[in-house]
Amino acid sequence: MNENLNTAQSIVQIQAKAKPKIEEIICEYLDGEAKQSILKYLDICKANGVKTPWSATNRWVLKLNKQTIGMIYVGVHPCGDVNKGILKNVWYTCVYNAPGLIHKQLEKEDLTHIIHSNLAKCAYHKKRCAPLKNITILGKEFDESDNLCSDCGGTNYSLLFANACDKTLYWLNEAFVLKNIQLRISN
């Protein structure tokens, strides 16, 4: 256990100094489908002008036109503690204000089902965040037993996905396109 703790602490120190690009870290923690899906996601980010600067250990911010629109987490749950160890072969993305990016075209393609089924669950309730009670996300009601929490996604303001599948990646691409349009209109 102490060896894992020392390793986690050294990872924290190394990354704090180097502020690595996400591409530099992916190979250390992901392989197979998880690696392929995050690489597709990063391609979607780049194609839409979304930058991914380092934020904290195994965490990167999603920035579009200098506005933070979400986060990417590699090997660590958004509510997790990197000092307790790194998760192998898992990544998360959180998109802020995601429900505001839904429009009729996406609803016609039944992507709300994809969003509902890919919402990540929180394993850290009572330690760091409070479970949401009786919340509706894109027309579906969730209660406390669904384990969605206020810190790691699932609110009316953000959605959290774990190891996003192709259909979720498609939706995220569409969401970024819409966010780009919204930002241009508001500026």
User: Which residues fall within 8 angstroms of residue 21, CB to CB, at 6 or more apart?
Assistant: 52, 54
Residue 160 confidence class, pLDDT cut points 50, 70, 90? confident
User: Which residues fall within 8 angstroms of residue 82, CB to CB, at 6 or more apart?
Assistant: 8, 11, 12, 57, 58, 76
User: In this structure, what token pair is assigned to residue 33?
Assistant: 């489908």
How many structural domains compose the chain? 1
Range of the domain at 80: 2-186
pLDDT in tens, 46-92: 999 999 999 998 999 999 888 888 889 998 877 666 666 677 888 98
Cα(149)–Cα(171) distance, integer angstroms? 22
Examine the pLDDT at 22 and tell me if it is beyond 80. Answer: yes
Largest Cα–Cα separation, the chain: 52
Give percent of the chain above pLDDT 90: 25
Examine the pLDDT at 42 and tell me if it is beyond 50. Answer: yes
pTM: 0.73
Supply the pLDDT for residue 173: 79
Type of residue numbered 7: T
Supply the pLDDT for residue 130: 59
